Structure 1
Amino acid sequence: MKKNRERFCHKEREFVYKFKVGTECLELRVPLKFPVQENASHLHGRLMLLHSLPCFIENDLKEALSQFIEEESLRDYDRDAEASLEAVKSGEIDLHQLANTWAKAYAESTLEHARPEEPSWDEDFADVYHDLIHSPASETLLNLEHNYFVSISELIGERDVELKKLRERQGIEMEKVMQELGKSLTDQDVNSLAAQHFESQQDLENKWSNELKQSTAIQKQEYQEWVIKLHQDLKNPNNSSLSEEIKVQPNQFRESVEAVGRIYEEQRKLEESFTIHLGAQLKTMHNLRLLRADMLDFCKHKRNHRSGVKLHRLQTALSLYSTSLCGLVLLVDNRINSYSGIKRGEFYITRHSNLSEIHVAFHLCVDDNVKSGNITARDPAIMGLRNILKVCCTHDITTISIPLLLVHDMSEEMTIPWCLRRAELVFKCVKDLPSFINTHSDIQALNPYRWTHWQKRIVKLSRNLNYAGILSSKRCPESEPAT
């Protein structure tokens, strides 16, 4: 059968097309190898361009070419089928082998015979974690995460102290060398010492980086194994040691909080909230919050002596594997394109499971142009923010925190009119987000924390802008302020 198929598949035929130009009769002859691999429309276009054919025969030529290819292909298929049947009748092909081949091909190509996909390990762990975090063992999970956090924080603190001591020692050495420059030492000696200092810093940073990677890898493996084991023990009602295992962790947590104390000082936030209802029959509620806060406050763990990180982490952990994720937009320097190729207005995404209040971080690449007052809705930064919001709509991110002024720090050129124009531009950019999300959504617009006293007047003047009206669509104008 293979010989017959090869004989028919590689046969060359000539396509003949006759047409008339004025009183002159012309004929186009094109050799074609069957089966024709190229699309008939593409082949027709190549013929028109290659032979400079007149435009008035374009449609007729395309129809004739398609008909010729279809008819000749059908003839080849018929001949191939007849040759295969003759081979079966003559006994050249084993009927049982042919039947098994057909049965295998049918089973592999139909859904009812396909094997169900085996869940991956990540999916299994996600289900296990989701069950545990919604069980009485949730406090145990958070306490264990906290212990890991304290351990890594101590390592980072030791690294910073050691790097600081190294830089101070190198600074003293460099000062001594600079004092002897031109006397007993030359520029080459200074460059040599600077190279040694740089190499020493790189070695020390690499050492601590490897140690941190190793520690986090060990913690991740231990945590995953412990979660799986705890889930299996919960399924066993006869396990008497399980309740004591869950009760052990809180005492350790309280001791660690008292020993370590506060790492991050909580800053007082100024905020104002609005509630927007969209929809004529089936209403959905969307919240808009204006905050004065640091963007990184949503990533840091806030500790106190009573509840620690549990209250901040619990809500994030409960929605970790859910359809209500929390996102944050961080502005990054455009100099990142010097080694990654990312351009202004583009962004990259990082996923997190152990931050304070977010699951997803959108790193939006911007430059100093965002500080100017002449950016428009077509600016790459605004377009990048709009693309981020599209990703939120399609990936179950219902809470998004954005920098209202597209800056993390204030400067003198950012006047009150500048801030009002920028806020209105950003709000017009995000106004379509609630209408595309069928469930509730929370939009948090953050102002830089370090405002001067005169910049606080923006909060009062901002009432002139109907932010709730900007975010509401024309068909759903209902909105109300909330505290």
Structure 2
Amino acid sequence: MQEMVKTKNNQGKNSGMEREFVYTFSSGNQHFVLKVPLKFPVQENVSHLLGRLMLLHNLPCFIENDLKESLSRLIEEKSIEDYDTEAEVALEAVKSGEVDLNQLANTWAKTYTEAVLEHTRPEDSSWDEDFADVYHDLIHSPASETLLNLEHNYFVSISELISERDVELKKLRERQGAEMDKVMQELGKTLSDHDVNMLAAQHFESQQVLENKWNNELKQTTGIQKQEYQEWVIKLHEDLKNPNITIGEEINVQPNQWRESIEGNGGLFEDQRQLEESFTIHLGAQLKTMHNLRLLRADMLDFCKHKRNHRSGVKLHRLQTALSLYSTSLCGLVLLVDNRISSYSGIKRDFATVSQECTDFHFPGIQEQLEVVQQVVLYARVQHSSKSKRLNDVGNKNGSCEDKSKNMEQNLSNILPGEFYITRHSNLSEIHVTFHLCVDDNVRSGNITARDPAIMGLRNILKVCCTHDITTISIPLLLVHDMSEEMTISWCLKRAELVFKCVKGFMMEMASWDGGISRTVQFLVPQSISEEMFFQLSNMLPQIFRVSSTLTLTSKH
């Protein structure tokens, strides 16, 4: 038996396991053995590798097909073995806690998304615009009833999923509370502070795992709903254009057992808004424009939560919001937030919870929008910081400017008081656009002026409303969402007067911004404010805006 010389693999730089490929064949009375070292994973094309072997060793042509088959089979088998081994190691790492499962899932999802986007056809980039046109046609057609029924059925599914999540989280917290009580009873006897801290850490980790599990479940469900809904809308639009097809199948409204159990919800919103005053004003120097003003005692999130249609009992009451979704009459809301762009605390968490109760079929979810805002803010801060450094270096500024620049660098991911970011929504009850206005504790003091960042933020928000077809805007009159002890009657009157006067000035400016368009401005005061205080504010509003009144003339005969 004659052994042929081994072929050296030129891919020595690649890391991996080396295996020997052995192939035997006969030619006449002689037997030959071909031994080739291969490094796995094999990067080279099998056909190219086969050609090199045939040429290098002057192999006979009659073994070419069999050699290629044997080479391909070995590479496939050994590659699968290596992949299985790597998979087992990866699974063990996840099971042992060396790798964070949620971080791994997010990384995989990001890579998958990037790969899909890389190979997406160019014409898909106009999908949003095409879908917007199709939806606008359908919602203004007899199919609007069917459309809203489908949205409600999806809303029912998400509501029940959220209900299950809340029940499971509540049970976990109750069980953990009982465990902690037992440990605290043994503290100082058989257990130490270290044991208590360890148990608290375990409880926190368990809650995080459960919350992440449900967050992923909700994210997956809403993604499926959004895809199904958009495909169904496109198909329905195409069917309606075909005269030979009759749309006879109606979508029945499914009752929401979780919502049905809360009978008070239907009338709750009405009770919260029972204090309301409406006014009509005319503003402008020469050409006056009519505007509608409303003063309400209500919670800001009441405009976001879905209400029940009293006639049907369960159906979403959002037809008007849907009709104006793609129009020049959008509705906006000003939400007062802190300087962190997140949804983990306070009213930001409550707003995110409400916005996740129903799938948004037109815009990205609240978390995705906040991630984009965070990136934009960080980029803008870095650019501003770099520019400030260059100016300081050139001008050799004093220490105060440098301190200001350093302070800016320490908070690159945060926004400043008076700045705001915007999120878009199609799944809220009465709101299309939310302005998240950053305010600090200074708004709770009684000495702010018309130049305060919060007031200037309102001015900039109204300017955005003019340039982006937002004709209804809801503003927190007192620049707070909740009352506190220091907010006395005089404090409320002073603050309301300041905001009324400033908004009036801004609205007069709006005529030069948009040429004079009729708008609706809603001033909201917190739920805890007294009726007496509400009516004092109601009397102040027409005095400041000089509401037009009808003059009645009487004559005596």
TM-score tier (shorter) = 0.5 to 0.7
Q: Which residue is equivalent to 1:69?
A: none
Change (3 A) 1:193 1:261: closer
Tell me if 1:312 matches 2:385: no
Q: Which residue is equivalent to 2:476?
A: 403
Does the aligned pair in 1 maintain the 2:417–2:438 contact within 8 Å? Answer: yes
Does the aligned pair in 1 maintain the 2:295–2:538 contact within 8 Å? Answer: no
Does the residue aligned with 1:266 lie in a helix, a strand or coil? Answer: helix
1:334 to partner: Cα distance: 3.7
1:225 to partner: Cα distance: 0.3
Q: Which residue is equivalent to 2:161?
A: 155
- Distance in 2 between residues matched to 1:306 and 1:463, nearest whole Å: 32
Q: Which residue is equivalent to 1:292?
A: 297
Identity %: 76
Q: Which residue is equivalent to 1:211?
A: 217
Q: Deviations over 1:83-110 (max 9, x none)?
A: xxxxxxxxxxxxxxxxxxxxxxxxxxxx
Q: Which residue is equivalent to 1:143?
A: 149
Tell me if 1:127 matches 2:133: yes
Q: Deviations over 1:280-337 (max 9, x none)?
A: 8865321000001111100011114414576731100000001110000111234558
TM-score by length of 1: 0.67
Tell me if 1:441 matches 2:519: yes
Q: Which residue is equivalent to 1:375?
A: 448
Q: Which residue is equivalent to 1:422?
A: 495
Does the aligned pair in 1 maintain the 2:426–2:432 contact within 8 Å? Answer: yes
- Distance in 1 between residues matched to 2:285 and 2:270, nearest whole Å: 40
1:262 to partner: Cα distance: 4.1
Residue type matched to 2:164 in 1?
Answer: E
Change (3 A) 1:352 1:336: closer
Does the aligned pair in 2 maintain the 1:430–1:471 contact within 8 Å? Answer: no
Does the aligned pair in 2 maintain the 1:257–1:308 contact within 8 Å? Answer: no
Residue type matched to 1:274 in 2?
Answer: F
Change (3 A) 1:257 1:321: farther
Q: Which residue is equivalent to 1:33?
A: none
1:460 to partner: Cα distance: 3.4
TM-score by length of 2: 0.59
Change (3 A) 1:220 1:381: same
Q: Which residue is equivalent to 1:252?
A: 253
Q: Which residue is equivalent to 1:330?
A: 335
Q: Deviations over 1:35-81 (max 9, x none)?
A: xxxxxxxxxxxxxxxxxxxxxxxxxxxxxxxxxxxxxxxxxxxxxxx
Change (3 A) 1:233 1:260: farther
Residue type matched to 1:461 in 2?
Answer: Q
Gaps of 5+ in 2: 1-122, 343-410, 551-557
- Distance in 2 between residues matched to 1:389 and 1:297, nearest whole Å: 21
- Distance in 1 between residues matched to 2:180 and 2:256, nearest whole Å: 44
- Distance in 1 between residues matched to 2:147 and 2:264, nearest whole Å: 21
- Distance in 2 between residues matched to 1:132 and 1:354, nearest whole Å: 17
Change (3 A) 1:184 1:253: closer
- Distance in 2 between residues matched to 1:344 and 1:234, nearest whole Å: 50
Q: Which residue is equivalent to 1:266?
A: 269
Residue type matched to 1:479 in 2?
Answer: S
Does the aligned pair in 2 maintain the 1:312–1:357 contact within 8 Å? Answer: no
Does the aligned pair in 1 maintain the 2:158–2:218 contact within 8 Å? Answer: yes
1:252 to partner: Cα distance: 2.6
- Distance in 1 between residues matched to 2:492 and 2:463, nearest whole Å: 25
Does the aligned pair in 2 maintain the 1:274–1:480 contact within 8 Å? Answer: no
Q: Which residue is equivalent to 2:229?
A: 223
Matches within 5 A, 1:457-468: 457-462=532-537, 465=540, 467-468=541-542
Size of the aligned set, in residue pairs, is 351
Does the aligned pair in 2 maintain the 1:258–1:305 contact within 8 Å? Answer: no
Which residue, 416, 430, 434 being the options, matches 1:357? Answer: 430
Q: Deviations over 1:385-428 (max 9, x none)?
A: 22211111111111000101111111222111111111111122
Residue type matched to 1:350 in 2?
Answer: T
Matches within 5 A, 1:72-151: 120-151=126-157
Change (3 A) 1:332 1:223: same
Which residue, 165, 180, 190 being the options, matches 1:184? Answer: 190
Change (3 A) 1:323 1:238: same
Q: Deviations over 1:150-195 (max 9, x none)?
A: 1111111111111111111111111111111111111211111111
Gaps of 5+ in 1: 1-116, 473-477
Residue type matched to 1:210 in 2?
Answer: N
1:430 to partner: Cα distance: 1.7
Q: Deviations over 1:402-458 (max 9, x none)?
A: 10111111122211111111111112222223534432200000011122xxx3222
Change (3 A) 1:450 1:309: farther
Change (3 A) 1:377 1:255: closer
Does the aligned pair in 1 maintain the 2:309–2:315 contact within 8 Å? Answer: no
